Amino acid sequence: MILFTSDINKKGIVSGMVWTFGIMLFGAIYEHFSFGVYSGYMIYAFVPMLIETAFLMVMYEKKKFISSTAKMFLRCASITASIGCAAAGIVEIYGTENRMLKYYAIAAGILYLIALGHIITSNTEERHLSDTSVQSDI
- Total structural domains within the chain: 1
Quick: pLDDT tens for 61-94: 887 778 888 889 999 999 999 999 999 999 998 8
Quick: pLDDT tens for 14-29: 888 998 999 999 988 9
At 37, the pLDDT band (50, 70, 90 cuts) reads: confident
pTM for this one?
Answer: 0.77
Q: Under 8 Å CB-to-CB from 50, ≥6 apart: which residues? A: 20
pLDDT reading at 102 higher than 80: yes
| Helices 102-121 & 68-94 angle (0-180, nearest 10) | 160
Full domain range(s) for residue 82? 2-135
Query: How far from chain centre, in Å, is Cα 52?
Result: 5
Q: Under 8 Å CB-to-CB from 109, ≥6 apart: which residues? A: 77
